[in-house]
Amino acid sequence: MGLQTDPFTVAQWRVDPERSVISPVDMTEPQAEIHLEPKVMDVLVFLAKHANHVVSREQLLDAVWARPYASDEGLTRAISVLRKQLQDDDKQHQLIKTVPKKGYMLQVERLPFESPVVSAAPLTTNRLRVGLMAVFVLLVVSMIFAGVWWWASSEASPQVSVNKSINLIVQPFSGMDDADNSQTIANVLSEQVLTQLAKLRGSRIPVIVSETSQRSTALITANQSFAISGSVTRGQQSIVINVHFSRYDSGEVIWSQAFESEEKDWPQLVNSVSRTVARFIQVSSESSLDMASLSVSEIQVLALLNQARSTRRAMDTDPVLSLINAAELLQRARSTYPQSGEVLSELAITYYRLSSYETSFQLPNLGEIYQQAKVEDGQSTSFQFLQALHYRRLRQYDLALEAFNNALAVRENDPEIRVVLGNMFRAQGKFEEALQQYRRATDANISYPLANFQQARLTSQMGQNGDAIRQLEYLVSMLPHYDIGRQLLTRLYFWQGQFDQAVMLMTEADNFEPWRYLMGDSQFALNQPERAIETYLANTNIESSEANYYRRAMVLLLQGQYHQAVDIAQMYAALNHSFEALYLHGRLLMLAGQFKAAKQVLAQALELTEDEASHQLGRKPYVMADLAWTEYQLGNDALAHRLARRLLERIKPFNRVGVSGYGVLDVIALTVLQQSAAAEQAFEQALADGWLCWHDVNYGGPHPALQQLQQSSRFSQWQNYIEESLSQQRKRLQLQSIYTP
């Protein structure tokens, strides 16, 4: 690939590509030389040749591995090795910078090479034109607009093929002000759109690349032609990208949309817009609609429908917010196009999806809107999807599955439908079927992150926590702001006893406040009670009165002041007669030795727990464990044993750690049953499975039942293992300068 072979300098390091070694510039001992793997050296050389410019992951993969589908993991590992060997492994990465969603940049004061090197940065307008013509492609397909704005309304006959082919003409995006930065961003966007189009798998989409943003009669063919074009405008502190979809011959704009972000986040904005365009186009090859026969009004309806579908699947947004945005968009579309039954079906789909979440969004009567959509639509694929959601809500799973299959017969690659179907299978305990649907909904580009999230969650629940963690690490690396993925990854680290990894991930969050309690829990698990208390006490001015009661009770618990904690928890339960408040109050009464009162309150909390579905562990087993221990302390052995046996039966189908993991509930139950040998064996297995939460924030230390393990001859061995593991984690955090033990 023609990489540099002569030695050069990067910061304080001398790099010798031919020998594949690096060494300090002021090296006096040959032992100071560090040998790098050939591919790692190639990555360093490529970054050095483009120093102080952003290099995309794709450029590195193509240049170093010389194949378009090289392993992302190999590149990630190479960057990690370079940072470590170049001593650039602090949190800020001063030498090899990560540019979110863009790539990497070797940032140096002095360029490694004396001669000027062609930059890997955004291209100039002239170079862009050459690049565009180089990627000129012309493929033939039946339509484009259904691809550009997702699925078409007349999807009921997927076997019908249309002979009229429709071309997509991609015109260069242009900067609309005098700022050079605007045109630079426009150039990058044009290239990114083409790059994403080139990645489409099995695409039969006709794409013509225009050399100019002006219409040309030479590009107008006998086939119907549509154009994608747009502009970039720089505001005071923002970047606005306008995207237009139009008829190429007349220039008539069919649909347009503006995308905006803060100026500093323009790489993420460009990435989002280009991926959106590519996702739209991916589906066009599966459609059979004759776009040339549609009116502008009909195409505009399709545009709104598919914009709403795309909004439901927004990448960097909380799923609930995505659904709310889609609902508001479809409500406006319903007012503008009241004659469209499919708009109503899509609106109803969004309402049904929202009903699965706890939200303050005002939902209509779902049964009534379903019946209305059945009358006004009743035939489209959107209605088939709605019907599947309706039957699933009624738990008529056979009818729901039939409707899902009808929808997928037309939208085979629709990840949203597959994820919802996977959720239904998961709720039925059909994990393998659910996992198959999630896998078919995922791809390497994270087009629909909820699919990757659900796949990882189920993978963990099936006992494959290592695979789940790797899937989530990849998801978070691709979408750093996808909070639900980051939250699940953090909890998996915690459940696996990797508290240091959880802490490091939380410190990278944009907004620390939502992570405060989990950070405190992790610090306490690391046997850092003082730091946990500091974390719990921080930023209390933004809390509600209920949250303040909870925080105060937890701080007193961590300080070992059980009786004072009970008083605060009692006020919390009086103010909020919820499961969380009652369970906290009952648990603290148990820890304070007030077992009669604890029994009464824990029984009330148990009554408030709903019977969980067979595939979810829920909170009920934890209350059962504490109530069984309380009855045991009161001498009510028969009742305590009955609760303990019920608990063991309930947790039998589940794994110890991970999603729906039961931790050491079996150890507690076996202790109540006075089966000490079995309890010791279960505890030893828990340690082997990765459980390390001896310092449990919920009990201000180990659960009191676990204290019985001190009678075992192996207790000191277990204790040493736990404390040594925690000590190593604290040292790793200290090396990362996150905090000092």
Q: What is the mean pLDDT of residues 499-509?
A: 90
Residue 735: predicted pLDDT: 84
d(CA 506, CA 297) in angstroms, rounded, equals: 48
Residue 366 has pLDDT above 80, yes or no: yes
pLDDT band at 494 (very low <50, low <70, confident <90, very high): very high
How many CB atoms within 10 Å of residue 31? 8
d(CA 62, CA 310) in angstroms, rounded, equals: 30
Six token digits for residue 9: 């300098």
SS (H, E, C) 520-544: HHHHHHCCCHHHHHHHHHCCHHHCC
CA within 13 Å, CB half, 170: 31
Q: What is the mean pLDDT of residues 672-693?
A: 96
Domains of the chain (ranges; CATH) run 8-106 (1.10.10.10), 122-313 (3.40.50)
d(CA 492, CA 659) in angstroms, rounded, equals: 7
What beta strand segments (E) does 199-315 contain? 207-209, 224-234, 238-247, 253-262
Average per-residue pLDDT for the chain: 81
Residue 216: predicted pLDDT: 56
How many CB atoms within 10 Å of residue 331? 14
Strand partners of residue 233: 240
Residue 320: predicted pLDDT: 84
Residue 305, burial from CB neighbour count under 10 angstroms (0-12, 13-18, 19+) = buried
Nearest CA to 615 out of 434, 391, 392 is that of 434
Phi, psi of 179 (to 5 degrees): -70, 130
Residue 124 has pLDDT above 90, yes or no: no
Residue 418 has pLDDT above 90, yes or no: yes
Six token digits for residue 177: 């002000």
Q: What is the mean pLDDT of residues 534-539?
A: 83
Pairwise pLDDT comparison (298 vs 629), residue with the higher score: 629
pLDDT digits (tens, 9 = 90+) for 561-586: 999 999 999 999 998 888 999 999 99
SS (H, E, C) 678-703: HHHHHHHHHHHCCCCCCCEHHHCECC
What is the dihedral angle through the alpha carbons of 437, 439, 445, 449, rounded to the nearest 10 degrees?
A: 60
Angle, CA 191 vertex, CA 482 and CA 201 arms, to 5°: 70
pLDDT digits (tens, 9 = 90+) for 143-189: 233 333 333 333 333 333 333 445 778 888 888 776 677 888 988 99
Pairwise pLDDT comparison (664 vs 111), residue with the higher score: 664
Q: What is the mean pLDDT of residues 19-31?
A: 73
Angle, CA 110 vertex, CA 109 and CA 113 arms, to 5°: 145
Residue 400 has pLDDT above 90, yes or no: yes
Strand partners of residue 240: 233, 260
What beta strand segments (E) does 620-733 contain? none
Strand partners of residue 238: 262
Q: What is the mean pLDDT of residues 454-472?
A: 95
Do 15 and 45 contact (CB within 8 A), yes or no? yes
d(CA 48, CA 34) in angstroms, rounded, equals: 18
Residue 140 has pLDDT above 60, yes or no: no
Residue 476 has pLDDT above 50, yes or no: yes
Residue 542, burial from CB neighbour count under 10 angstroms (0-12, 13-18, 19+) = exposed
pLDDT band at 319 (very low <50, low <70, confident <90, very high): confident
Residue 224: predicted pLDDT: 56
- DSSP β-ladder status, 207-209 and 174-175: unpaired
Nearest CA to 679 out of 694, 666, 662, 663 is that of 666
Nearest CA to 671 out of 660, 682, 663, 661 is that of 682
Residue 238: predicted pLDDT: 84
d(CA 649, CA 719) in angstroms, rounded, equals: 29
CA within 13 Å, CB half, 726: 21
Residue 127 has pLDDT above 50, yes or no: no
Pairwise pLDDT comparison (296 vs 486), residue with the higher score: 486
Residue 3: predicted pLDDT: 53
Instruction: Please count the helices (runs of H) and the strands (runs of E) in the chain.
Output: 30, 12
Q: Hey, which of 28-32, 269-273, 353-357 has the most confident mean pLDDT? A: 353-357
Nearest CA to 239 out of 213, 195, 272, 217 is that of 272
Residues 6+ apart with CB under 8 A from 187: 122, 123, 124, 125, 128, 172, 173
pLDDT digits (tens, 9 = 90+) for 478-490: 888 888 899 999 9
- DSSP β-ladder status, 238-247 and 253-262: antiparallel
